[in-house]
Structure 1
Amino acid sequence: MSYRRWILNDTPLQAMKYEISGMPIGDIIEMVAALLTKITTTNDLQHDALHRNAAHQHAAANHNTDGNSMSPLSSSVLAFHGKNVPAITILSYLSRIHKYCPTTYEVFLSLLVYFDRMTERINSLVVEAEESRRQAQAQSAQTTLSEQQSNRNADTEMPDQQGEENDETGSDLVDEDDEKGSDYKSGEKGAAIPPPSAPATYFVADSFNIHRLIIAGVTCASKFFSDVFYTNSRYAKVGGLPLAELNHLELQFLILNDFRLAVPVEDLEAYATMLVEFYAREVIAQRPPPANKPE
């Protein structure tokens, strides 16, 4: 789901703006955590996260051991998927990051922008790639059928009464392997068709990847939005990852965002408005009313 598209197409929200720059950073973190928790929980249910995670792990294992072809973006998406769901909640994770690596509210708000961009960009590319792959397979199958038909017609129309010299010449120009009906063999067994590449991987934020996405996003955004940031070794320690893995995830995060970290002010304002509206509707409104104090 793209929240940016929803906001920009909603006239009341376009006219309404919430100024969150003056809010306590803890409140903003709580709202961001609530929204990310809602998104990941919904995706876990809708996309069957357990089965999807198993498929991702299998694809990654095949890529590493068998050398199967995989698109660079698929490799970048799979880099964020953990084998297990971390025990720490999203709110506790964000709060821990801010406690040991304090930063500005723009960094946490920008995570929502980046995740939306990644979802729209990657999944649209996957749809295009899958469509191209289906068209290529259909074209390849049609070409194979046409070649088989042409070969059959050529065999049928070849005259039997050829000169002995012509027969010898034709025979000498054909390799022994070719005489065994390689055209038919390739057509029947599909040897002429290159093996299909591994299907591209959709980007879906779920419980298996959200923590790695967060720490990689904070690492990138802190360096972009703030003049004060920390070393990757510190971010890695706070995020609970080896330094080498965080360095790798930082690069993959940039790749998935097409190295575009700039966020227009109007987009930040729109996301801030969406965030406040979401929190008021989905969190505060769902809380039970306070009990009346006895007089």
Structure 2
Amino acid sequence: MAELENPSLMPNLITYLSCLLQKVAESNDVNCRFQPQKVSVFHGLTRPTISIQSYLDRIYKYANCSPSCFIVAYIYLDRFAKKKPTLPINSFNVHRLLITSVMVAAKFMDDIYYNNAYYAKVGGISTIEMNYLEMDFLFGLGFHLNVAPNTFYTYFTYLQREIMLQPPPSIAESSLSLDRSLKVHLCFNEEESSHQNQQQLAV
């Protein structure tokens, strides 16, 4: 997709995704006091000292994956959050979910990618932990890794529009994700998007 080659897009995309995930994590940190949540392999004992923005910047700098990987990683996070409502994205797991989703996306999308040990080093975790995270993430997704072109385009155009037309999402918007995961920001699901595209093609 030609738009992804725009040199000004990726930094803005990284910043927007970082802010979005930060607000979602903060909202779910508050929510965990009122709703039971499971602890998974993605949870750290303490909140990482590195910010989500700096962490995603680091991944972007050193993972060397294609720009498309970050869109696909976002789609994977959305799917994971929807399939695992008792494991909401929060400050204790967002970093591990990020490095895992980008790594899985790179393996699925790119012809050339690094081994788990390299991504573990980028993410600041051990290779053994990276292996466990990858496996748990894949099972959490139900191994649903394929992203249809129309789904990719819909997510991409949504993000592109949000970046261009408005500032990063507010905490009020993000708080809605407590019950509806990240999908609230998209206002549709993949099945509806596919059906709508099919209708448009039929016209």
1:34 and 2:16 matched: no
Aligned to 1:83: 45
- CA RMSD of the aligned region, Å? 2.5
Structure 2: gaps of 5 or more residues? 171-203
Aligned to 1:140: none
d(CA) in 2 for partners of 1:261 and 1:88?
29
Aligned to 2:153: 269
Partners of 2:117 and 2:127 within 8 A in 1: yes
Name which of 97, 101, 108 aligns with 1:217: 101
Amino acid at match of 2:50: I
d(CA) in 2 for partners of 1:208 and 1:30?
20
Query: Tell me, what secondary structure is at the counterpart of 1:269?
Result: helix
Amino acid at match of 2:70: F
Identity %: 34
Task: Look at both structures and tell me which one has the larger radius of gyration over its CA atoms.
Answer: 1
Amino acid at match of 2:57: S
Amino acid at match of 2:93: N
Aligned to 1:283: 168
Name which of 89, 99, 123 aligns with 2:61: 99
1:112 and 2:95 matched: no
**TM-score after normalising by structure 1:** 0.52
Structure 1: gaps of 5 or more residues? 1-17, 58-77, 124-201, 286-295
How far residue 56 of structure 1 moved from its aligned partner, in angstroms, is 4.3
Partners of 1:216 and 1:249 within 8 A in 2: yes
d(CA) in 1 for partners of 2:131 and 2:160?
33
How far residue 19 of structure 1 moved from its aligned partner, in angstroms, is 6.8
How far residue 121 of structure 1 moved from its aligned partner, in angstroms, is 2.2
Q: 1:37 to 1:23 in 2, by over 3 A?
A: farther
1:137-152 paired onto structure 2 within 5 Å: none
- Deviations along 1:134-176, one digit per CA (max 9) or x if unpaired, are xxxxxxxxxxxxxxxxxxxxxxxxxxxxxxxxxxxxxxxxxxx
Partners of 1:215 and 1:239 within 8 A in 2: yes
1:23 and 2:30 matched: no
Amino acid at match of 1:98: Y
Q: 1:45 to 1:274 in 2, by over 3 A?
A: farther
d(CA) in 1 for partners of 2:52 and 2:133?
18
Partners of 1:96 and 1:238 within 8 A in 2: yes
Amino acid at match of 2:124: G
Q: Would you say how many aligned residue pairs link Structure 1 and Structure 2?
A: 167
Q: 1:80 to 1:284 in 2, by over 3 A?
A: closer
- Deviations along 1:186-209, one digit per CA (max 9) or x if unpaired, are xxxxxxxxxxxxxxxx12011110
Amino acid at match of 1:110: V
Name which of 249, 254, 277 aligns with 2:138: 254
Query: Tell me, what secondary structure is at the counterpart of 2:166?
Result: helix
Query: Tell me, what secondary structure is at the counterpart of 1:282?
Result: coil
Amino acid at match of 2:61: K
Query: Tell me, what secondary structure is at the counterpart of 1:21?
Result: helix
